[in-house]
Structure 1
Amino acid sequence: MISNEIGFNCHHRGDGGPLVVVPHIDRTPLTELIDGFEIAAGMQPAGDAYGGLIPEFFRFGPMQEHFLGRSTSAMGPKTPVLGCECGEWGCWPLMARITATADLVVWDAFEQPHRKTRDYVAFGPFQFDRHRYDDALRALSAVIGSDADGRRA
C-alpha cells in the first residue's frame, strides 16, 4: 500500500495576523492540489479560492482531534480541511471524510458543500501512516501552543 506524507504548514496571515494552518500532502500545499484538480476538471469558480484554517476564528477544538475527524459534530460527518481564501472556513470549505485506524489515516470523499454537483471522486484518497500522521499532529500542536502572540487554538 502506498502511503502519502502529511505535514501542516503554519504561518501568520498578513503582517502579524492570525495563525493559518495549511495541510501539505507529499510536500505540496493542499490549496495547490485542489486548485490544480478543480481547474483541470473545468470547475468554475476555481483557482485561489481556498485558504488554510484559522483556529482563532472558529473553535475547532484541539487540532489533533480536528484532523482525526473528531471535531464538533455540528459540522456533520465530514471535516473542513481547508477554508476560504478570505479566512472564514464556512464561506468556501473543502470538506473530507477522515477515517483513522491504529495503522492508517485516510482522507477521502472530498466535497465542496456549496457546489453539490461537483465530482471529487478522482481527488484522493490520501492515505497516511498513522504514526507519521500523529507525529505531524504533535508538531502542529507544538507550533499552535507556542504561537508568539500567546493565542491558543
Structure 2
Amino acid sequence: MTSDEIRFDCQRRGDGGVPVILPRIDGVPLTELIDSFEIAAGMQPAGDTYGGLIPQFFRFGPMRDHFLGRSTNAMGPKTPVLGCECGEWGCWPLMARISVTADCVVWDSFEQPHRTTRDYTAFGPFQFDRYQYDDALRALSVALDSDVDDTRA
C-alpha cells in the first residue's frame, strides 16, 4: 500500500478567530474528500456538513495525542477527525480508528455515529508514513503555539 501524505491546516474561524484544524490528505481537505464520497454514495444529508476541529470548543487534550488516537476515552474507541460545519464536533462528527505503529499511521473504519446505517467501508483507509505524520503533527503544534502567542499580544 502506498503512503498518503497528511497535513493539518490551522486556520482562524471567522466568528471570533478561534483556530480550526482541518486535515488535508494528499493536498485535498478531508471535508472535500468525505463530501465527494457521501454525495457519490447518495447519502442525505451530504455536502458542506463537516468542518474542522476547534480545540477551544472541546477539551481534546494535546492535539498530538488526539491525532495519534490517544484522546479522551469518553469518545470511545474512535477519534473525531472532523466536526460539524457549525463548529461543534459532537453535532456531526466524522469518526475514524487511528492505528499507530513505528512505521505508519492508518485512518480507517470511518463512521458517522448519528447515521449508523451509513456504510463507509469504501472510504479510506488512509496510510501515512510515520515520520511524515509526526512532522505534520509538529507543524500543527507550532501553528497552535504561535496562535496562542498571537492571542496574548
TM over 0.5: same fold?
yes
Structure 1 unaligned regions, length at least 5: none
SS at match of 2:60: coil
What are the equivalent positions in structure 2 for 1:1-150 lying under 5 Å apart?
Answer: 1-14=1-14, 16-147=16-147, 148-150=150-152
Q: Matches of 2:14 and 2:45 in 1, distance apart? A: 24
Alpha-carbon distance change, 15 to 86 in structure 1, aligned in 2, over 3 angstroms: closer
Report deviation, 1:37.
0.2
Q: Matches of 1:96 and 1:57 in 2, distance apart? A: 20
Report deviation, 1:15.
5.5
Deviations 1:14-36 (A, max 9, x none): 16521000000000000000000
C-alpha RMSD of matched pairs (Å): 0.8
Q: Percent of pairs identical after alignment?
A: 77
Structure 2 unaligned regions, length at least 5: none
Aligned residues: 150
Deviations 1:120-143 (A, max 9, x none): 000000000000000000000110
Normalising by structure 2, report the TM-score.
0.96
Q: Matches of 1:19 and 1:43 in 2, distance apart? A: 29
The answer to which of 139-148 and 9-18 deviates more is 9-18
Q: Matches of 1:59 and 1:142 in 2, distance apart? A: 19
Deviations 1:90-146 (A, max 9, x none): 000000000000000000000000000000000000000000000000000110011
Q: Which amino acid aligns with 1:142?
A: V
**Which structure shows the higher helix fraction?**
2
Q: Matches of 1:16 and 1:136 in 2, distance apart? A: 25
Q: Which amino acid aligns with 2:77?
A: P
